[in-house]
Amino acid sequence: GQAAHDTIAAVKRLREIRNQNAEPEHGAVYPNHDFGRGLREIARLIKAEVGLVTSTIDLGGWDTHFVQQQVIGSLMTTLASGIDAFLTDLGSLQERVTLVTMTEFGRRLRENTSFGTDHGAGSVMMVIGNEVGTEGLKAGVHSGWPDLSDSNLDEVGDVPSAINYQDVLSPILASHSPGLRVESVFPASENR
């Protein structure tokens, strides 16, 4: 009964927000791309104070096994302009947001014979926002390796996986949702 009532009320509220079609604020201009439109929708939900705790959005096209140089520039521009528009649109509300960019797999360090890069083990996570968690997770680029010198590469000359993504996401989730049992989100995670 109550769960159904709450669900129907939430759907009605989301429909009202979408129908308002509020323009982005503070001069924000989102990229004309599914990624940009998705970020705009997330910003609307944040500004509407609907109780959004987490959200995800994908930007595909990074699986660049072939002629990587022809596509990587536009992907990076879409990512950067989307993040810029999102944070600009939020204005002072961005102080309540921690934005994380991550990938499901890394890319190899060396170019292949098709002028692309193949799947690799390690990658980076970029965190934008205020310091979070009791460990004081800071904004910035998290990789676990200091540089790309040969001494920091694995046996095949590639970037190793050095940080578990759960160790970055867990304090963020705990900070934004006090009382959340992080082990219910990451049940197999160590040290939880």
Find how far residue 28's CA is from the centre of its chain.
Answer: 19
pLDDT tens column, 143-168: 888 888 888 888 887 888 888 889 88
Averaged over 73-78, what is the pLDDT? 90
| For residue 64, pLDDT beyond 90 | no
Lowest mean pLDDT among 32-41, 49-58, 101-110: 101-110
Inform me whether the pLDDT recorded for 27 exceeds 90: yes
Tell me 128's DSSP state. Answer: E
- Share above pLDDT 70 across residues of the chain, in percent, rounded to a whole number: 96
Full-model pTM: 0.82
Nearest partner of 29 among 94, 78, 93, judged by Cα: 78
User: If you average pLDDT over residues 29-54, what whole number do you get?
Assistant: 91
For residue 66, pLDDT beyond 80: no
Cβ-based neighbours of 146, under 8 Å, separated by 6 or more = 152
Question: Closest by alpha carbon to 33, among 61, 10, 3, 66?
Answer: 61
97 Cβ contact list (under 8 Å, min separation 6): 46, 87, 90, 129
Give the per-residue pLDDT at 11: 77
State residue 189's pLDDT score. 58
Grade residue 134 by pLDDT with cuts at 50, 70 and 90: low
Element (H, E) at 168: helix 165-176
pLDDT value, residue 192: 42
Distances (CA, A) of 7 to 2, 35, 89, 100, 136: 9, 26, 28, 28, 35
Mean pLDDT of 90-117: 86
- Structure confidence by residue, pLDDT tens digits, 7-22: 787 778 777 777 777 8
